[in-house]
């Protein structure tokens, strides 16, 4: 039985297969619409989320399966003091697969070691968010036709943004990727990540000005300042509007640069950018459903060739 804790749990070849399956689902929705008949997905969300939880639910419903779960730690037995390992033992009796989001780093990993069903990490604290990364990779691959030879700018809260940490991890395995980290001093990318890049001889630079690097980028990954992970509100207020991507800044970019964002957006992308063809963050949401459908099929070991 397999779980998904980090995007590195799948080899590059396995990811290719997963993305091919996601692209086939995109083209042939009907073919997959009963693939998970009788199967149940549990969504155990100990931290607020609409997008990711609904994306999982939509994915399972589109496969003909059903969903159950909770969307708030206060409405689960965690409020009574139940441990994650006990909860997953119980969920293993109710469902065939589980997507878990938790504010504590490593909680889904603990759950997976006590589980009889596949567990998917749907975001653990400031650590990893592998299914968002699968979404990001599928979006890039589908729209650009490749996952190598890019200069990618990651901008905003690089300290707390788990989607950023997961994406760097995953992209590091492809050839000729250059990372440009754009953040205020206080929200710089953690050192363990840059140490890792150094060790692998992967080129990166850290800058404060987005305008300065805009013309170099093939991809721009914007992120929200992660308010819920700040220790004090004052710092959040000071940093929240540090970057605002607008039409003027977009005019500095390559004509085929893509703008991605895991959403939710707060102020970091002005709505005037939404109509720009290079803004693909809403397309990304749709790819997120396809890739989660492909992931559920893969972890449940459904034979897609017999559909
Ligand atoms: C991200 C997350 O939860 O980390 N959202 C998401 O899953 N789409 C990004 C964020 O909350 O800023």
Domain-embedded: residue 296: yes
Crossing angle of helices 12-27/281-299, nearest 10°? 110
pTM check: above 0.85? yes
Tens-digit pLDDT profile for residues 27-37: 999 999 999 99
Q: Is the CB of 50 under 6 A from ligand 1?
A: no
Q: Under 8 Å CB-to-CB from 277, ≥6 apart: which residues?
A: none
Where do the H-state alpha helices sit in the chain? 12-27, 51-62, 84-94, 107-113, 130-144, 162-171, 191-199, 210-213, 233-239, 247-250, 281-299
Domain membership flag for residue 223: yes
Same domain, 270 and 203: yes
d(CA 244, CA 51): 22
Q: Do residues 280 and 136 both lie within one domain?
A: yes
The two tokens of residue 137 are 């990779």
- Residue 2 counted as domain residue: no
Instruction: Express each pLDDT in 126-153 by its tens digit.
Output: 889 999 999 999 999 999 999 999 999 9
Which of 264, 283, 285 gets mutated to test ligand 1 (max ligand atoms within 8 A of its CB)?
A: 264
Is 90 exceeded by the pLDDT of residue 276?
A: yes
The pLDDT score that the predictor gives to residue 305 is: 95
Asked whether residue 196 falls in the same domain as residue 115, the answer is no
**Predicted pLDDT of residue 252:** 98
CA atoms of 295 and 302, how far apart (whole Å): 10
Answer yes or no: is 300 within a domain. yes
Does residue 63 contact residue 299 with C-beta atoms inside 8 Å? Answer: no
Q: What is the pLDDT of residue 122?
A: 97
The total domain count for the chain is 2
Q: Is 20 helix (H, G, I), strand (E, B) or coil?
A: helix
SS (H, E, C) 177-189: EEEEEECCHHHCC
Q: Are residues 211 and 279 in the same domain?
A: yes
pLDDT: is 197 or 127 the higher one? 197
Asked whether residue 102 falls in the same domain as residue 157, the answer is no
**Secondary structure class of 112 (helix, strand, coil):** helix
Do 123 and 224 sit in the same domain of this protein?
no
For residues 171 and 30, state if they share a domain. no
**Residues 139 and 190 placed together within one structural domain of the fold:** yes
Examine residue 168 and state whether it is found in any structural domain, yes or no. yes
Average pLDDT on 182-206 reads 97
Q: Identify the domain containing residue 188 by its residue range.
A: 131-285
Q: Is 240 in the pocket of ligand 1 (CB under 6 A)?
A: no
Residue 140 shares a structural domain with residue 279: yes
Note whether 105 and 152 are same-domain residues: no
Residues 172 and 281 in one domain: yes
Q: Is position 1 within any domain?
A: no
CATH of the domain at 233: 3.40.50.1370
Ligand 1 center to residue 161 CA distance, Å? Answer: 8
Would you say residue 73 lies in a domain?
yes
Q: Which residue of 124, 163, 236, 284 sits with most ligand 1 atoms within 8 Å of its CB, as the best mutation to test the pocket?
A: 163
- Write the CA distances from 280 to 76, 133, 147, 284, 289, integer angstroms: 35, 15, 16, 6, 15
Whether 189 and 281 map to the same domain: the answer is yes
51 catalytic per annotation: yes
- In terms of Cα–Cα distance, which of 215, 200, 211, 159 is closest to 183? 159
pLDDT in tens, 65-111: 999 999 988 777 777 778 999 999 999 999 999 999 999 999 999 99
The reply to whether 227 falls in a domain is yes
Contact 97, 120 (CB under 8 A): yes
Query: So what's the pLDDT on residue 196?
Result: 97
């Amino acid at each position: 039985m397999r779980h998904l804790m980090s995007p590195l749990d799948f080899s590059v070849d396995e990811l290719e297969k997963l993305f091919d399956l996601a692209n086939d689902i995109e083209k042939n929705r009907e073919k997959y619409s009963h693939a998970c008949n009788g199967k149940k997905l549990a969504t155990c969300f100990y931290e607020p989320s609409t997008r990711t939880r609904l994306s999982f639910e939509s994915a399972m419903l589109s496969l003909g399966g059903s969903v159950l779960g909770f969307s708030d730690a206060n409405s689960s037995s965690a409020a009574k003091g139940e441990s994650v390992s006990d909860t997953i033992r119980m969920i293993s009796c109710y469902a065939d697969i589980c997507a878990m989001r938790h504010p504590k780093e490593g909680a889904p990993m603990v759950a997976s070691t006590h589980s009889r069903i596949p567990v998917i990490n749907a975001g653990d604290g400031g650590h990893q968010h592998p299914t968002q990364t699968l979404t990001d990779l599928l979006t890039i691959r589908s729209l650009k036709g490749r996952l190598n030879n890019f200069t990618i700018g990651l901008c905003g809260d690089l300290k707390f943004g788990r989607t950023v940490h997961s994406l760097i991890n995953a992209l590091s395995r492809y050839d000729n990727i250059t990372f440009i980290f754009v953040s205020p001093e206080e929200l710089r990318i953690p050192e363990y990540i840059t140490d890792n890049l150094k060790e692998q001889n992967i080129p990166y630079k850290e800058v404060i000005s987005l305008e300065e690097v805009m013309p170099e980028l093939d991809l721009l990954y914007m992120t929200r300042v992660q308010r819920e992970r700040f220790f004090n509100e004052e710092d959040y207020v000071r940093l929240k509007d540090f970057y605002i991507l607008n039409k003027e800044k977009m005019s500095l970019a390559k004509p085929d640069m893509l703008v991605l964002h895991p959403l939710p957006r707060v102020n970091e992308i002005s709505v005037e950018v939404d109509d720009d063809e290079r803004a693909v963050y809403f397309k990304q949401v749709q790819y997120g459903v396809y890739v989660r459908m492909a992931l559920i099929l893969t972890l449940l070991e459904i034979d897609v060739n017999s559909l």
